Structure 1
Amino acid sequence: MAKVFTITEGLENMGALSTGGQGSVYKGKRIGTVISAVKLLPTPIHTEDAFDKNFRDFQNEVEKLKKVNEDPNPHVVRILNSGLTESGNFPFIEMEFIEGPDLEELLKAPHPPLFTISETIKLANHLASALSHCHKVGVKHGDIKSNNVKFNQATGNYVLLDFGLAVMSDEQRRSSLRHAGAVEFMAPEQHHGEMRFETDLYSFGIILYELLAGTVPFPLINKSEMSRNMVMLSHVEKQVPDLLELRKNRLPEQWPDNKKADEMRVPSWLMQIIYKCLEKAPEDRFANGMELYEALSNHNDGLLNKEEVDRLISGLKSENERLQRTLAKYKQVTKSKAILISALLCFVFLGVYGINSVFNTRDSGNVIAADSTVTTKVPVKSNAKRTPDTIKKTAPVNNNPVAPQNKKTKDGLENDVPYF
């Protein structure tokens, strides 16, 4: 492809990726195979004199951008280079090229017209992390919109792109926003040329609103100046339409009823964060990206997305089924053991009872005197020592009675019974 113009030495211009009033983005190629995206700002800087305000402002913002890369964040595009083009002295920012669709593309067919709750929360965390990272080093983005946030197909992360406004002078920024800014995403104060940390948070709120509702709160009907002014005035004066009502009317028809019901249960904390970001007065919003990210983090402890919840539930069901099978086997084994133990106890009891009965009968039977004509029944206590006094003398008694065949031991007969 023929070069349109020279960007800078060692960086080949591969052609335009997008163009707009705030500048153009070109696909660049460095020596080798490194592909990049080059943001070219529309207003040239004709001097590199340090006393020139535009050049000085540009240099200051470039220095801030360099700090963004000192501790890279996976949700912020890496800045590779910046400076002035060799032809025309246009300010440019060279960034890594992210393969993947932007949010604007993800909201168009064949994709659903809105995001699921879990994916919206994922995007919210990634974008808040990006803003926190930038605001810590003093960089305000100023141009957050759906086509400036890409889904990185290689990593699965959402990435904030295009820091073109960040390096513009205040006057350049005011002029650019007034005539070419994405007014659907602009905070009320931006319509007066003001850009603050809170300004980025308003645009963040619009992004989340669009993902859940399937539309921005104040759509641009056409690109006429009148339409732009109406949208700008709406941001300043009107309250945003009911998000949940818009979401309800835009849920995909092909979704089953149970999914539709689940997808209408937007967490109240998420709604509160969105509406706080959309406050008209900057001081009523979060102060910066760090505060926003902290607010989201407070609700992310133990938070699982739908896919993780489904996996967890599936795992719990499997574990429950395994435990039920184990319990059923245990109950069967326990029942069999109980029957066996009961049978053994009955056997032991009957055995002991039978043996005890035999010995008691033999020990307390009839005593016959060898030289008597009368037989006398003598009751004998099992543990008592037999004496002549225990025998009723109704007949002549032989002083040498016949000893019983089973004389009790000293320790007692019971000790000879084997117990189980």
Structure 2
Amino acid sequence: MSKIFTIAEGLQNLGALKTGGQGSVYKGMRMGPVYSAIKLIPTPIYVEDESDKNYRNFLNEVNKLQQVNTHPSPNVVKILSSGITDSGAFPYIEMEYIEGPELSELLLPPHQKVFTVKELLKVAEQLAAALAHCHQFGVKHGDVKSNNVKYNTQTANYVLLDFGLAIMSEEQRRTSIRHAGAVEFMAPEQHEGKMLLETDIYSYGIILYELLAGQVPFPLEGGGDTARNTVMISHLEKEIPGAMLLRKSNLENTFQEDILNSEMQVPHWLIELIGRCLQKNPADRYANGMELQKAITAGLLSVPQGIARTENTMPNEALRYAALYGETQQKNEELEKELATLKPLALKAGIKYNTSTGEYHHENYIHAPRKTFLAYAAACTLVVAFVVYSLAKTENNNVITSPVTPYQSPFEIANQQYRQALQTAREDSIRKTRWAQQVKASEKARKQKGKKRKKFLGIF
């Protein structure tokens, strides 16, 4: 394949991968069989000097991208190099070449029109991690869409690609959006040339909506300016259509009824998260990728797997688990307060924590004589054996299902241990007192018996 133009020394141009208003992506090859993807920015730089605004913007963005590369993320494409082309004076960013299909290709035949719930949650988690990794260094992507997310066939991860839009000026971004941008994924403020961290959050929500419903909220019908303007106005003014009805229609006549019902069980928190990402006002969305990632993590841990909703309300099972979760949280708080009260009492009573066994015990146990202990143990064994025999005899061969042991939180277990230890301390104190009384009484009786014996012997 002949070269279109030279990128840089040692970096061979193997032809365009795709071209758009935000720039073109070329397949490149370095010295030897090392393939890469080159993002070419359509903003020529004639003077490589700080006085050139375009050059300053380019250096600032490259510096941020280098910070992103300092601690690589498996969900963000690695930046290999950057510079100015030898011919044309265009800034470029060289990225690693990811082998695998784009996210949009996975929605086309022979694949299904929608993603499974399991795979949808995987994309949501990994793409949120990618945005969080970029946003913590102040890097705004600006062109998050299903065409810029690839499934890496070597690592089985979803990877965010194609950085560099932030280098363009607001006027250039407005022009590129007007003529060649993917308007289906663009936030309302992007139509004014603005690009915020919240802009990436909106585009993220569009991707999840597309994977959930099988299409974007406002599809582009035709490539003319009228069709593009219609989509822009829809993002600015119209409400987002319900995704679950679209999902159901795309799933019908494809799966059996049991699989269809299972795939309609989309977690309630995920639907609400997508709705917040797609708010018209940037202030109503998640502020950045870090906040979005926290919401994803909280959602994945909030309810047991499989608890979901299919319509506008949660099913009874989900409500039951949600109520149980709330009760458990409240009970843990009450137990924690009670533990704060019991701890000083336990320490005062001589109860200490054994780090090797993980249990609480009393320091001053009273040890009974060996014969007394054995007699007591034998008596307890006989009583237990008699009770078991009685229960077995009265049973009418009915199978009795033993109740499931209820879950006990760490606060509850510690509370029980404190109470048991305090009860043991009280019982030990009572036994100690009684034992002392018995010893005292025995000593008194022995002395009295000795006096009587001396008196009796004195008669003779």
Q: C-alpha separation between the residues in 1 aligned to 2:9 and 2:167?
A: 21
SS at match of 2:76: coil
Q: How does 1:199-214 map onto structure 2 within 5 Å?
A: 199-214=199-214
Cα deviations by residue, 1:262-292 (Å, 9 ceiling, x for unpaired):
1111110000100000000000000000000
Alpha-carbon displacement from aligned partner over 1:108-128 (angstroms, at most 9, x marks no partner): 000001101110110000000
Q: Deviations over 1:330-371 (max 9, x none)?
A: xxxxxxxx9xxx9xxxxxxxxxxxxxxxxxxxxxxxxxxxxx
Unaligned runs of 5+ in 1: 307-337, 343-420
CA distance in 2, matches of 1:51, 1:175: 24
Kindly state the Cα deviation for residue 167 of structure 1 after the two structures are TM-superposed. Answer: 2.5
CA drift at 1:21: 2.0
Q: What are the superposed Cα offsets for residues 242-267 of structure 1, whole Å, 9 maximum, x if unpaired? A: 11011111115231110101111111
Aligned to 1:159: 159
Query: Is 1:133 matched with 2:133?
Result: yes
What's the offset of the Cα at 1:52?
1.2
Residue 351 of structure 2 corresponds to which residue in structure 1? none
Partner of 2:261: 261
Residue 52 of structure 1 corresponds to 52
Tell me, yes or no, if the aligned pair for 2:43 and 2:54 is still in contact at 8 Å: no
- Counterpart for residue 277 of structure 1: 277
Corresponding residue number in structure 2 for 1:249: 249
Q: Secondary structure at the match of 2:159?
A: strand
SS of 2:133 mapped into structure 1? helix
Question: Following the alignment from structure 2 to structure 1, what is the Cα–Cα distance between the partners of residues 302 and 193?
Answer: 41
Q: Name the aligned partner's letter for residue 294 of structure 2.
A: E
Cα pair distance change 1:303/1:165, threshold 3 Å: farther
In 1, the alpha carbon distance for the partners of 2:146 and 2:5 equals 29
C-alpha distance in structure 2 between counterparts of 1:66 and 1:130, whole Å: 15
Asked if the contact 1:21/1:181 (under 8 Å) is kept, the reply is yes
Which residue of structure 2 aligns with residue 173 of structure 1? 173
Q: Secondary structure at the match of 1:109?
A: coil
Per the alignment, in what secondary structure is the counterpart of residue 301 of structure 1?
helix
Q: Percent identity over the alignment?
A: 60
Aligned residue for 1:101?
101
| Structure 1 match to 2:239 | 239
Distance 2:270 2:86 in 1: 47
Query: What residue identity is the alignment partner of 1:76?
Result: V
User: What is the identity, as a one-letter code, of the residue corresponding to 2:232?
Assistant: M
Name the CA shift for 1:10/1:305 in 2 (closer, same or farther; >3 Å).
farther
- Determine if the alignment matches structure 1 residue 35 to structure 2 residue 35: yes
* CA separation of 1:305 and 1:108: change in aligned 2, threshold 3 A: farther
* 2:61 and 2:164 in contact (8 A); partners too: no
**Quick check: 1:201–1:286 contact (8 Å CA) kept in 2?**
yes
Return closer, same or farther for 1:211/1:267 CA change in 2, 3 Å cut-off: same
2:31 maps to a residue whose letter is I
* CA distance in 2 between partners of 1:252 and 1:132 (Å): 36
Q: CA deviation at 1:133?
A: 0.3
Q: Distance in 2 between matches of 1:124 and 1:254?
A: 24
Secondary structure of 2:63's partner?
Answer: helix
Equivalences for residues 387-402 of structure 1 within 5 A: none
Q: Which amino acid aligns with 1:147?
A: N
Aligned pairs (5 A) from 1:301-320: 301=301
Aligned residues: 308
Look up the SS of the partner of 2:301 in the other structure.
coil
Instruction: Pick closer, same or farther for the CA change 1:263–1:91 going to 2, 3 Å.
Output: same
The answer to whether structure 1 residue 70 and structure 2 residue 37 are counterparts is no
Q: 1:209, 1:243 within 8 Å by CA — same for their partners in 2?
A: yes
Is structure 2 residue 294 aligned with structure 1 residue 294? yes
Aligned position for 2:378: none
Structural mapping, 1:326-341, within 5 Å = none
Cα deviation code 1:155-194 (max 9, x no counterpart):
0000000003132233322322232110000001111111
User: What is the TM-score of this pair, normalised by structure 2?
Assistant: 0.65
CA contact (8 A) 1:118 1:305 kept: no
Partner of 2:186: 186
C-alpha RMSD of matched pairs (Å):
1.7
Following TM superposition, the consecutive aligned residue runs of length 4 or more in structure 1 with deviations greater than 4 angstroms are 302-306
Match of 2:79 in 1: 79
Deviates more, 1:58-67 or 1:169-178: 169-178
Q: Secondary structure at the match of 2:24?
A: strand
Q: Match of 2:133, as an amino acid?
A: H
Please say which of residues 160-169 and 277-286 is displaced more in the overlay.
160-169
User: 5+ residue gaps in structure 2?
Assistant: 307-388, 394-460
1:63-93 CA-partner distances (Å, limit 9, x unpaired): 1111110000000000001111011011111
Whether the 8 Å contact between 1:82 and 1:93 is mirrored in structure 2 is yes
- Separation in structure 1 between the aligned mates of residue 81 and residue 260 of structure 2, nearest angstrom: 46
> How far 1:15 sits from its partner (Å)?
1.1
Aligned to 1:220: 220
Give the structure-1-normalised TM-score. 0.71
Structure 1 CA distance, aligned partners of 2:227 and 2:199? 22
One-letter code of the match for 1:117? V
2-structure distance, mates of 1:304, 1:67: 37
CA distance in 1: counterparts of 2:123 and 2:303, whole angstroms:
14
SS at match of 1:300: helix
Local SS of the residue matching 2:208:
helix
CA contact (8 A) 1:79 1:94 kept: yes
What is the 5 A alignment of 1:315-394?
A: none
Distance 1:165 1:63 in 2: 14
Structure 1 counterpart of 2:428? none
Kept in 2, the 8 Å contact 1:58–1:169? The answer is: no
Q: Partners in 2 of 1:20 and 1:188 — Cα distance? A: 20
Distance 1:301 1:264 in 2: 20
What displacement does 1:215 show? 0.5
Q: CA deviation at 1:43?
A: 2.6
